[in-house]
Structure 1
């Protein structure tokens, strides 16, 4: 029998990247999963691969109306819910003086406000002994010059997680967070352009992309970027770890050891 917290789980951002890897890890372990995200086709590719075990709930988490009652809808599909993973995220790299208003508000909405509101829902919906896990980032503790908004949102998310852990303890509902270093996903492979830079030719984009990834790899003493599967296994562990709550688990290939 799988551990409580891993049996019936909602994963936001479950169509791609870390969220997809989390969903697949839970499914392989015999759990049932509801995946949520904006892109219906990628969600349905998972439900097609895991019929009767994976279910899709398309949702734009930036919309208050769309995310209202999301946890209860997921519980309705699975006949209950004992786990919640917030993996959906958005990052726009912009230095101070060039932070767009839309980018500012979108990152705060998806990376901080949405997980807070969904975490509140989870306190009411998750079965006793269940857990919620939030995907944060090492940028919450060590920002770079282009990550002011993203870092602030993820730092705030860590405090939200700890409050949810305190409140949920009365029902035995746990909350934790993982702080990955740089994980090779579509979001990380997107080339970071200087403010005002024009579009790049395809060969130049590919060259800049490889240089960017090589630079990011060099930041990690273990010599590689993280894989979504690395984070997924840590998330699955925290979901089922019955005596862990309020904890921050760093998975960063040694990144934070760098001066």
Structure 2
């Protein structure tokens, strides 16, 4: 790996990716592997992780872990370092949103969203400060909902807004070792999470034909919110993540990749 003017690395080759079995995390893993890197992908479900590892033998490794569990995530960065023979990158793509209006926010959804979207990245970033090689990089997925919440996204928006400040603090702390920390904030991206039908409080899931029709309407509506007229694709977010992993003079920054949604009044 080449060095920049100040001696820091200009790229990353050994990267741990949370949420690496699907969506944006999978797209990041694929992009890094195709560029010659090696990745450890983690998530709650072993099946998708093992599929990634099988698709890229010798370059991708499954490391199942529920990052919402404090005990499970303990030492996760060190385990990834051991599997990969070193670690110079960490990408946190794991996330969870439950759209619920005030008066209907259940305790499990409240605690779970805070744990996955704020506590877990803080704790894993803490580990990364000790485990990443000098000159390494961290990238965390936030959201445009951190800047412009919906009536149903209070918990998710608060967690993602808090994450922006956590990442700035990680950037300041890691600077002494040349370890960078940055954020990518997407608009609405076409992932499995986006394809969950948003139900009204107390509503039961509709029968399949109605479910499919309503989901299509939901996706079309969400796409129309963006001035560019469509949902984002995971690969478009992966481009920004990979760039930030190797951006040797960028830290504490937020890159917004949102199809222009924050331009809307």
Per the normalisation by structure 1, the TM-score is 0.99
Indicate yes or no: 2:95 matched with 1:55. no
Give the aligned partner of residue 198 of structure 1: 204
Q: Kindly indicate whether the alpha-carbon contact (under 8 Å) linking 1:111 and 1:154 is maintained by their aligned counterparts in 2.
A: yes
Query: Structure 2 matches for 1:31-180, cutoff 5 A?
Result: 31-180=37-186
Q: Kindly indicate whether the alpha-carbon contact (under 8 Å) linking 1:5 and 1:83 is maintained by their aligned counterparts in 2.
A: no
Distance in 2 separating the partners of 1:75 and 1:24? 19
Q: Kindly indicate whether the alpha-carbon contact (under 8 Å) linking 1:5 and 1:129 is maintained by their aligned counterparts in 2.
A: no
Distance in 1 separating the partners of 2:42 and 2:10? 21
- Structure 2: give runs of 5+ residues left out of the alignment: 3-8
Residue 19 of structure 1, aligned match among 2, 22, 25: 25
| Partner secondary structure for residue 249 of structure 1 | strand
Give the aligned partner of residue 245 of structure 1: 251
Displacement of 1:5 in angstroms is 4.7
Distance in 1 separating the partners of 2:12 and 2:224? 34
Distance in 1 separating the partners of 2:54 and 2:164? 34
Displacement of 1:199 in angstroms is 2.0
Residue 257 of structure 1, aligned match among 241, 251, 263: 263
Displacement of 1:54 in angstroms is 0.4
Distance in 1 separating the partners of 2:202 and 2:53? 41
Segments ≥4 residues shifted beyond 6 Å: none
Indicate yes or no: 2:234 matched with 1:228. yes
Distance in 2 separating the partners of 1:69 and 1:5? 24
Per the normalisation by structure 2, the TM-score is 0.96
Give the aligned partner of residue 215 of structure 2: 209
Displacement of 1:78 in angstroms is 0.9
Superposed CA RMSD: 0.9
| Partner secondary structure for residue 34 of structure 1 | strand
Distance in 1 separating the partners of 2:264 and 2:205? 33
Q: Describe the superposition over 1:121-150 as per-residue Cα deviations: whole angstroms up to 9, x where unpaired.
A: 000000011000000000000001100000
